[in-house]
Amino acid sequence: MLHSIDAGILFLQEEEVIKAGALDMKMTLDAVEETYALLGKGQVLNPPKTHIAMPIGSGANWGSFFNSMPCYIGGDYNIGGTKWAAESKKNATIPGIPYGIDITILSDPETVLPFCILDGTLITAMRTSAVAGVFAKHTVPKDAATALLVGAGVIGRTMIMAVCEAVPQIKKIYLADLDLAKAEALAADYKGVYDVEIIPTADAKSVAGEADVIITETTARSPFLDKSWLKPGLTVINMGSMEADLESVKASDIIAVDYWDQIITYDSKAAAQLYKAGELTKDQVIELSEMVLGNWEGRKEANQIINCSSLGLGALDIMIGYKLFLNAQKMGLGTHVKLWDKPLWE
């Protein structure tokens, strides 16, 4: 579908993105499932993200980074775009600026004209947790009642939303953070919002044995989750890079990833490390698209331990961004700008 032949662009700032539905977790969960289904059907082109860490030579000890995440979504959508994702440690010390700052650009695949540029920071926060929610929906035992969320930052906030929407049988959430006051404040924000008890703690390991699902959403630079955290029937979902050690992942009966072709390019991910060590192959993992499409039979035994990890897809940001664009159009939101009135050279 050709969206436009002019150079008009709709710009949506964060407040308008919110009005268009960016904080709707049910919509986000549905969009995540739809995107992975299209990926599994071969309708999505999503090359591995390009990562630039700064300063030069910093590697895993970066101070800031940029990620470029282009994609194309086919099928009934026929839409292209890219997400420009960035994070800075310095921002954590500066009031009034997010730790991560993202921009989403939607483009027409036929004329390649951009038709919408929108703040992507909230989209990132919502869809990151929604991926964990979809993993949990397909992997936690049906009688699961307790979750442990490790990390009470922005993703910890949206993770509460995702878990409560995706696995409503969860009635108790331990919210862990080394900064107990941070966990307490976030738990207070969600008190009474969902039919769930949220218990803040500074010692995640001490309550791990009670959890049916553990979700880690931290900026840890070295693994902290080891085999002693594991119990039969547990689902572990690692959203960060350096959270579960290799032995705990290898001890899992099932290893699942969101997108194999991308995750093996990220050296900080356990799946990539095991792959490069010759200890893990694609046919030994379950991809999220297989779960969403119903091509995975699920747990064969109730006591199986499942480890899931995600790196995120640019296609998620484009899918959700497009849905918000359509909502914004209907609502008359945004500012119209143009690349040109008439191009100098054609």
pLDDT digits (tens, 9 = 90+) for 210-233: 999 999 999 888 999 999 999 999
Alpha carbon distance 139, 317 (integer Å): 24
Q: Tokens standing for 35? A: 């995107």
Q: Is pLDDT at 85 greater than 80 in this prediction?
A: yes
Tens of pLDDT, residues 51-67? 999 999 998 789 999 99
Q: Tokens standing for 102? A: 């993202």
Residues making up the chain, counted from first to last = 346
- Average pLDDT across the chain, whole number: 95
User: At residue 298, what are phi and psi to the nearest 5 degrees?
Assistant: 90, -170
Nearest to 235 by CA among 222, 224, 249: 249
> What pLDDT sits at residue 219?
86
Nearest to 307 by CA among 245, 238, 247, 259: 238
Alpha carbon distance 155, 150 (integer Å): 10
> What pLDDT sits at residue 60?
77
State the sign of the Cα–Cα–Cα–Cα dihedral 329, 33, 153, 82: negative
> What pLDDT sits at residue 2?
53
Please name the residues in contact with 221: beta carbons below 8 A apart, sequence gap of 6 or more: 60, 61, 242
**Strand (E) or helix (H) holding 117:** strand 114-119
- Enumerate domains of the chain plus CATH numbers: 8-123+314-338 (3.30.1780.10), 140-309 (3.40.50.720)
Q: Is pLDDT at 315 greater than 60 in this prediction?
A: yes
pTM for the whole structure: 0.95
Q: Is pLDDT at 1 greater than 50 in this prediction?
A: no
Asked whether 231 and 256 are in contact (CB, 8 A), the reply is no
Between the ranges 55-59, 138-142, 324-328, where is the mean pLDDT highest?
A: 324-328
**Strand (E) or helix (H) holding 81:** strand 79-88
Q: Tokens standing for 26? A: 């049910």
User: Within its chain, how far is the Cα of 176 from the centroid?
Assistant: 19
Which of 65-74, 214-223, 286-295 is predicted least confidently?
A: 214-223
- In this prediction, what percent of the chain has a pLDDT beyond 90? 92
The CA–CA distances, whole Å, from 203 to 138, 144, 206, 330 equal 27, 21, 6, 47
How large is the average pLDDT for residues 250-255?
A: 97
The more confident residue out of 268 and 31 is 31
DSSP state of 225: B
Neighbours of 301 (CB within 10 A): 8
Q: Tokens standing for 238? A: 């690692």
How large is the average pLDDT for residues 329-333?
A: 97
Alpha carbon distance 224, 255 (integer Å): 18
> What pLDDT sits at residue 158?
98
Alpha carbon distance 16, 118 (integer Å): 9
DSSP state of 210: G
Q: Tokens standing for 231? A: 């119990």
